[in-house]
Amino acid sequence: MIRPVLLIALPLFFAFLSPIIGIWSKKGVRYLIIFATALNATLAGILLLEALQKPVFDIIGGFQPPLGIVLMVGPLGAIIAFIINLVAFAISIYNLKVEKEPIVRYSMLYLLLVMGSTGMVLTGDLFNLFVFLEVTSIASYGLAAYNKDKKGYLGAMKYVIIGSIGSTFVLLGIALIYSQLRTLNMLDIAARIGTMDPYVKIMAFTSLFLGFGVEAEMFPLNTWVPDAYDGAPHPISAAFASLPAKAGVFALARVIFTMFSFTNFLWFVVVMGLLTVFFGEIVAYTQKDLKRMLAYSSIGQMGMIIMGLGIGTTLAVEGAFYQMIAHALGKALLFIAAGFLIYAARSGKIEDMKGMARNPLIGIPLLIGALSIMGMPPFAGFYGKFFILMGGFSQGYYAIIALFLAASIVEVAYYARFIKIVFERGNESKVIRPDAATYVPLIILAIIIVVIGVYPKPILTVLQHVGTFIAGGA
Amino acid sequence: MVTDWLIHAGLVALYLFLAMVIGLLFMGIARKITARIQNRVGPPIYQNFLDLGKLLAKKTNIKHNWIFDFAPLFGLGGVLLILAYLPMGGYIMLSGQGDLILLLYILAIPALGFALGSGASGNPNAGVGVMRALTLMLSYEMPFLIVILSLMIFYNTASLSVLLQKQMNYLWGIAALPISALAADIALQGMMAEKPFDIPIAPHEIASGPLVEFGGKYLGLLMLYSAGSIVVETSLFVDLFLGGGIVLNPTVYGTLAYFVNYLVWLALIFVVWMIAIFVNAVFPRFRIEQAFKFYWKWPTVIAIAGLVQAYVMSVFLGVVP
Amino acid sequence: MKKALAIVLAILIFIVFALAFVKIPFGEKMSTYPHYYNPITNQTSNMSLPQHYLTYGKNDTGATNMVTAIVVDYRGFDTLGEVTVLFLASTGVGSLMYVENKVKKKVRRSNAVVETGSKLLFGFIILFGAYIFIHGHLTPGGGFPGGAVIASAFLLLYLAYPKFHAKHEKLSVSESIAGLTFVIVGLIGLIIAGYFLYNFLPFGLPTYLFSAGVIPLIYVAIGVKVGSELTAIVDSMMGVRE
Amino acid sequence: MDLFTIVSIILIIITVITAIIAAEMKDLLSAAIALGIMSLIVSILFYMLQAPDVAITEAAIGAALSMAVVIFAIRSTERWEK
């Protein structure tokens, strides 16, 4: 019996502990972080098994829900939390490659980023969600500028400005809801959302949607994405794509399905998602810089997830969740590989990376990750896109499906170009062998992608509960 | 149970083998016909089988690295996967919900394998060829996608087997949606990389492009790959627009129906292939930008017209097959 | 043009939100608020949430200051999160302002009045800050303002003595220990009663200093933590100049 | 109109004026001081609205600490906005 609160309390404990350990041994802190994320991933795995039986409610402070805070973990939240922590564990190994001082602070910020993202997924209280959003975003701001160069500062500054606007919107939405319903518990809100004034309801929904849209990289609010990803240290770019983004989009799902069970407003979500897909994929096609290309591709993928949520049928939402999982794994892998390629080629330009991935330790995982992101069948990324498309088809969104497919083709084209260049023969002397801190996380992620691609049954078993999630359950 | 599985596996092997044989035969026929048009005698039809045997028996000395070794297998595996999803004369090995969308995805796999392997060889001609192939893919996928979408809207299904069923019961796609069929055929020409779209291979300019570094067993595998691709591409058109060659209902006529359907399907893909070959023999080659512009202009417009037709028919006129 | 557009947009957003905010029942009787609903036991209560806090707050938490009861006990988990936010802010500023070798620059001494005054005031301000957070459960105030007051005492030292530097290690150790206290108190609650952050100590008599269970303990931790974090932020900002 | 309303209206007007000054001043130091005054008045408003907890925090953080941090930041760059 695992209490979900441990997933939040233990990382906090380790984060507060690390400055003390850091006085004696800086290396010790790094291994402590790896241990903490591994422990968290294990606990999240056990929690997932528990949540599959029935949703877990963890009352905090001993006060019944609307009075106090409650964590609400259904099967879907549990699997997203599990994936977040698993990826966080893989990235924490790659963190060993970061050398720049102050390394203890870096480790703490990273651990708190993981904690905040996990908390956003687990919580069942609207204001608590906002608190964890703040934790996540402030940790992200610090990490985005960690390189302390011009690119890093620029990206972090954009992120800070847009992120604060987003947080303000979330807070406004919460204030509107509280002013009408006098409660902050999500299920309590859901039970009484009908008594709200319709105008206030729509304003609250729009505010929350836009606010969480910043983390979820939704179209008009994602101008920070390429700069922040580009300027951040390589492990952090990987973490950005997998942790806060997934937590943000899960919060969106909570807003849409758990709290406001809107059905007539979902076209808005679909349109926003589609715009995001288009913006991301088309700009990604024109990029020459590897990390920027991956960042724009990440925007595109997040748009697909938002679209899946907006289509709103069981199949499409299932696809959106599968896509979240696949994208978290695949994009983390690609960013880690990108970090290695940039290090090996001493340049961020794709054209300078000729043949850099010819070592099988880097090449095979890279290939698997890219194919998965493109949505090729035997890998994890396929099911997400496929289910979203099928869901859209069954709802009759024909034009949208056509545009979606066109965007996917563009995606295939630019990834194919990238793959072709990195496997091309040329400057053999510069090809180097990655060290363990690079290839171990790559191989872990690649194995998971292949396993859940070839044998998707466990994931699909969990995703069966999408029906209850859409109906407003945990 | 076990015997069922064995029979199924045997049938799969048989169908895949037949597909390869058909592909090689078609290639031979194409060579002969092109030669005839150009007033040559040309090699015998079975020449390709001899070539293949020779290539596979050869020892290979060209060593690049693991990507190079892996790529032909990747391409061939992709082709076999597509073949497994395509109905050949009404028999489908693997099928499921929404395999029309699935097809769109896996159609890209062989091209990727190609891109990988030839990139890995480091030959500049191969690199040029691959970039052309990828651009060409980007161009013909656009109209093709709209065509598939019109079919999906008109027949209101995303499953190939249901599509075949409905075509058999109602009307062949080419009769119901002639505009889309035209767009699909133009896209098909690019997909098969026949003239005027044989830009990626372009034997005279870039020495067969992606193939240039491959020899021996690798070339043999790639030959099988292109044989399989021919069957895939022609059969795709037949399945989408010519009812998959199903004339007899298998539930009524049993095994006989499968046999007859297979023969009809064979005849139909031969016709489609012949059209492609004649176009190939007559037209000169486009440049890649021309091809790209062409595809995003004419076939796309035609395909959109087809889409409008399908939409109007199914939504406004209420034609439900 | 751009500026005009921005102003128009801002006014538009203002109007749209103002239309929503006028619907807030401001200054209405609490009895008209909607009643709350417990999703776990599936029951609707006979009063609203603010009403419950005011009626039963003292019994539930033992604190006389209702704001503290809500901040530290009912929604203590949020406060843990907010403390983490501050911790993150100080860590982030510290990592961004980190310089390998600080160059000592010549600085002017400030004048004698400021020096003597700050020496005199320093102890009193610290005392006042400590008073605020120790009495958080009884009187207005608490860990956050108390910590800020303590930090402002250090700020005075920075102003008076340009060469003054708080030891970063000591600051980070004190904020770590304070944070650990908060988490460990929560975990002890989890072990004893099965609820994280459970108020497991006896409540004692209301209005006495030693009352309200773990609330004073947590508030002292928060006060120390906020004080050292804000001091660390100020210190990092000063570091840039040198 | 009672005294309470008059005083709060005056305070709100001063708040708005100081906020505009803080935004428009080219001299960053004056802008920071205007910001500090604004925080102080807002904290008085909080106190009048019976939120002493918030008032204390706002006074300590808004008026003292954040102003000091802003001034330190200005000292390390330039005083005049361009």
- Residues A135-156: pLDDT tens digits? 999 999 999 988 888 888 899 9
Best of D58, D69, D74, D77 to mutate (most C CBs within 10 Å, chain C): D69
Please say if the pLDDT value at position A43 is more than 90.
yes
Asked if A219 and A303 touch (Cβ cutoff 8 Å), the reply is: yes
Q: What is the pLDDT of residue B258?
A: 82
Residues (pLDDT < 70) of chain D are 82
Residue B228, token pair as written in the block? 């399989």
Q: Per the structure block, which two tokens stand in for C234?
A: 């100020």
Closest chain A C-alpha to C172 CA, distance in angstroms: 6
What's the average model confidence in pLDDT over A42-60?
90
Nearest alpha-carbon partner for A338 in A38, A92, A94: A94
Q: How many domains does chain C have?
A: 1
B248 in contact with A at a CB cutoff of 8 Å?
A: no
Distance CA B48, CA B56 (A): 12
Which pLDDT score, from 0 to 100, does residue B120 have?
A: 67
Q: Which chains touch C (3 or more CB pairs under 8 A)?
A: A, D
Q: Is residue C59 part of a domain?
A: no
Lowest mean pLDDT among A46-55, A230-239, B41-50: B41-50
Count CB atoms within 10 A of the CB of residue C207. 12
* Confidence label for C110 from pLDDT (cuts 50, 70 and 90): confident
Nearest-CA distance from B67 to chain A in Å?
Answer: 8
Judged by a CB distance cut-off of 8 A, whether residue A135 touches chain C is: yes
CB-CB: which of C65, C67, C152 is closest to D65?
A: C152
**For residue C44, what are the β-bridge partners?**
C37
pLDDT at C241 over 60: no
Interchain contact D65–C (C-beta under 8 A): yes
C240 CA to chain D: closest CA distance, Å? Answer: 7
C100 in a structural domain: yes
Q: Which residues of A touch B306 (CB under 8 A)?
A: none
CA B241/CA B244 separation, integer angstroms? 7
CB contact under 8 Å between C145 and D53, yes or no, is: yes
Sign of the four-CA dihedral C173, C174, C177, C182: negative
How many separate domains does chain A show? 1
3-state secondary structure of A262: coil
pLDDT band at C184; cut points 50, 70, 90: very high
Check pLDDT > 60 for residue C170.
yes
The answer to whether residue A126 neighbours chain C at the CB level (below 8 Å) is no
- Confidence band of A327 (pLDDT split at 50, 70, 90): very high
Residues of C in contact with D69 (CB under 8 A): 233-234, 237
Residue of D nearest to C93 (CA): D69
Interatomic CA distance for residues A165 and A211, integer angstroms: 7
Is A131 in contact with C85 (Cβ distance < 8 A)?
Answer: yes
* Distance in Å, alpha carbon of A219 to nearest chain B alpha carbon: 24
Q: Which chains touch D (3 or more CB pairs under 8 A)?
A: C
Note whether B91 and B160 are within 8 A (CB): no
Kindly state the average pLDDT of the residues A254-270: 82
pLDDT band at C242; cut points 50, 70, 90:
very low
Residue C54 within a domain = no
- In this predicted structure, the answer to whether residue A292 has a pLDDT above a threshold of 80 is yes
- Candidates B115, B122, B145; nearest CB to A426: B122
| A249 within some domain | no
Determine the distance in angstroms separating the CA of B293 from the nearest CA of chain A, rounded to an integer. Answer: 16
In a domain, C36, yes or no: no
HSE on the CB side for B71, CA within 13 Å?
A: 29
pLDDT at A86: 93
Residue B203 has pLDDT above 60, yes or no: no
**Smallest CA–CA distance from B111 into chain A, residue:** A416
Residue C28 in any domain: the answer is: no
Q: Could you tell me the pLDDT band of residue B51, with boundaries at 50, 70 and 90?
A: confident
121-140 in chain C: CB under 8 A from chain D: 132, 140
Give yes or no for A26 touching C (CB within 8 A). Answer: no
In this complex, does chain B touch chain A, defined as having at least 3 beta-carbon pairs under 8 Å apart? yes
pLDDT tens sequence across C195-219: 888 888 888 887 788 888 888 888 8
> What one-letter code names the amino acid at B209?
G
The pLDDT value recorded for residue B191 is 81
Segments forming the whole domain that contains residue C223: 65-239
Is the per-residue pLDDT at B150 higher than 70?
yes
Q: What is the pLDDT of residues B249-294, one digit of tens each?
A: 777 777 788 888 888 888 988 898 888 888 887 777 777 777 778 8
The verdict on residue C41 lying in a domain is no
Collapsing DSSP to helix, strand or coil, A56 comes out as strand
Q: Is residue B86 helix, strand or coil?
A: coil
Q: What residues contact residue D40 under an 8 Å CB cut-off, 6+ apart?
A: D59, D62, D63
What pLDDT was estimated at residue C104?
A: 58
Q: Which chains touch A (3 or more CB pairs under 8 A)?
A: B, C
**Domain regions of chain D by residue span:** 3-76
Query: Measured between CB atoms, does A23 come within 8 Å of chain C?
Result: yes
Determine whether the interchain pair C140/D52 forms a contact, defined as Cβ–Cβ distance below 8 Å: yes
Question: C127 or A351: whose pLDDT is higher?
Answer: C127
Of the given ranges (A286-290, A470-474, C115-119, D25-29), which has the lowest mean pLDDT? Answer: A470-474
pLDDT at B300: 87
Q: Is A45 exposed, middle or buried (0-12, 13-18, 19+ CB in 10 A)?
A: middle
Q: Is the ipTM of this complex over 0.90?
A: no
Q: A448: domain range?
A: 287-474
CA distance A421 to chain B (A): 7
